[in-house]
Amino acid sequence: MENLNEQEQIKDPNQLDLFAGIVLTPEQEKMVKDFIDRQSRTATLSEKNNKAYEQILINGGFVKDKHFRNSFKRQIITREIQLGYSWDKTNFKIELTYEDTTGYVQLIGKKFDAVNSKVTNDIIYVDFSDGKVNSSTIQDNYRYIKASSLLSKLETYNKRQETLLEEHIKKTNLKQSIVDKYAKLYPNATVTAKNEWTRYDRFFDIVEVKFESGSYVQFRLDTYKNTEYLYKKFDAELDKLAADETLERFSKQVKKEASN
């Protein structure tokens, strides 16, 4: 037992006691030093780039904390990391204290929230390249432009969100007024607002007046004229008729004279 304890106390001369008692080989010690140095260089470069990015926006007319925010922060952290590679069995885990960075330069924008009928503040990402900027959210493309041009587009984009809210409120009020109108005119019908979809118009709102027979009339909304117009109609009784019954019914219809 005493011989075993003696063997445990013998250390490899190529190993060093570092990092809270963890024994590292010279190769591992070099990996640790290289990692810490690399993190420091990366943090310095990130900080330099961040200041340059902020200055590009300021030179283009952006005002900090009004048009953009800068959450960049350089800090010292302690975290367990893995160094080396598994394929050559040099990988190992160790807790290190090193430099790191967080945060970015981001635009301050507006966002229309249809669910809650309001406009909220929004953070919009921006990219930088050779003194120019790009924000695909605002531009709807990936072309890099001058910061001053992006500022103009940001202001237009934010105003558009306010306009979307106004249009949404107007449409919601119109929709409700139409539902109330036909519910009062036809109390025996079920009047509902729903969405319709077409290849060209995508999704849009309609108001449907459906009767117990299954027949219905659907209206589309015209927010510019603040009214509705006929979109679709369905006669359940006519749909049930056989071909000869349909022809007989049509034959009894009187031609409507065109009005002057």
Residues 6+ apart with CB under 8 A from 192: 179, 207, 208, 210
CA distance 148 to 39: 34
CA distance 213 to 138: 50
> What is the pLDDT at residue 16?
40
The DSSP string of 55-96 is HHHHHTT--BTTTEEE--EEEEEEEEEEES-TTTT--EEEEE
> What is the pLDDT at residue 12?
40
> What is the pLDDT at residue 259?
60
Instruction: Return the closest-CA partner of residue 50 out of 78, 74, 82, 26.
Output: 74
> What is the pLDDT at residue 249?
86
Report residue 207's pLDDT band, with 50, 70 and 90 as the boundaries. Answer: very high
CA distance 56 to 216: 59
Average pLDDT over residues 229-239: 93
Q: Is the pLDDT of residue 248 over 90?
A: no
Instruction: Quote the pTM value.
Output: 0.72
Q: How many CB atoms lie within 10 A of CB 94?
A: 18
> What is the pLDDT at residue 246?
87
More confident: 200 or 216: 216
More confident: 210 or 201: 210
pLDDT winner (highest mean) among 54-63, 83-92, 188-197, 221-230:
54-63
